[in-house]
Amino acid sequence: ESIALADGALALCGAATSIADTLLAEIRAVEQQAPFRSMITPGGYTMSVATTSCGRFGWVSDAHGYRYSPLDPDTGKPWPSLPTVFTEFATECAARAGFHDFLPDACLINRYVAGSRLSLHQDRNERDMRAPIVSVSLGLPAVFLFGGLKRNDPTRRFRLSHGDVVVWGGPARLRFHGVLALKDGWHPATERCRINLTFRKAG
Ligand code: MD3
Ligand code: FE
């Protein structure tokens, strides 16, 4: 079923459950070419979440800031291409939320282990804020924090479980959000981790 988390944020609960193993197999192919790594934040902290990307652009962070880059800084090569099944699934989910013709050019892949967290932030490095972000949660569940347009606005908590898809656009697109520290656990699809895919139009 689908649930409106807020104006512009639609959860498609379990929408990726039947395609999860296919997505995970593609993630394993991506990580052969572009391994997961812990990025350094502009403030000098090492992220507890490991990331990689595929698509025309990948998300990178270092002492200079956050940005999208056509090259993987670790390999010097272009990021692996977006698997067709990724693009088709993201486009279909966006359309179900009313965002027609969404064509992602970047997929950020976040991997959480016990204790990994993502502090409250906005996603504002994409060029066209009219395009939504489609997120897919795989494996262990996480508690997602959803705030407002200002850092200090109150936050609400949602549980994101295996197979859940959320489409974030319109008035929700610039809302602050984060993920609480992952609890230890085991999931048949991902074993001891959680993987989150975010499909974006970055360029
Ligand atoms: C709300 N990832 O990669 S996905 C990120 O679970 C990120 O790994 C989280 O935040 C994760 O930037 C959350 C849900 C999400 C993604 C993008 C959003 C929520 C969003 C953009 C705007 C508003
Ligand atoms: Fe984000």
Q: Per-residue confidence at 47, pLDDT binned at 50, 70, 90?
A: very high
The response to whether 177 counts as a known ligand-binding position is yes
pLDDT at 142: 98
**Ligand 1 pocket check for 168: Cβ under 6 Å:** yes
pLDDT at 133: 98
pLDDT at 54: 99
Domain range spanning residue 73?
2-200
The answer to whether 195 and 111 are in contact (CB under 8 A) is: yes
User: Which ligand 1 atom is nearest residue 108's CA?
Assistant: 3
User: Which ligand 1 atom is nearest residue 137's CA?
Assistant: 6
CATH number of 36's domain: 2.60.120.590
The count of domains in the chain is 1
pLDDT at 93: 98
**Ligand 1 pocket check for 53: Cβ under 6 Å:** no
pLDDT at 161: 98
pLDDT at 188: 98
Q: Count CB atoms within 10 A of the CB of residue 33.
A: 15
Helix (H) or strand (E) holding 29: helix 20-33
Which pair of structure tokens corresponds to residue 102? 């969404």
Strand 58-62, strand 65-69: pairing: antiparallel
Q: Per-residue confidence at 180, pLDDT binned at 50, 70, 90?
A: very high
**Residues above pLDDT 90, as percent of the chain:** 100
Which residue CA neighbors atom 12 of ligand 1 most closely? Answer: 123
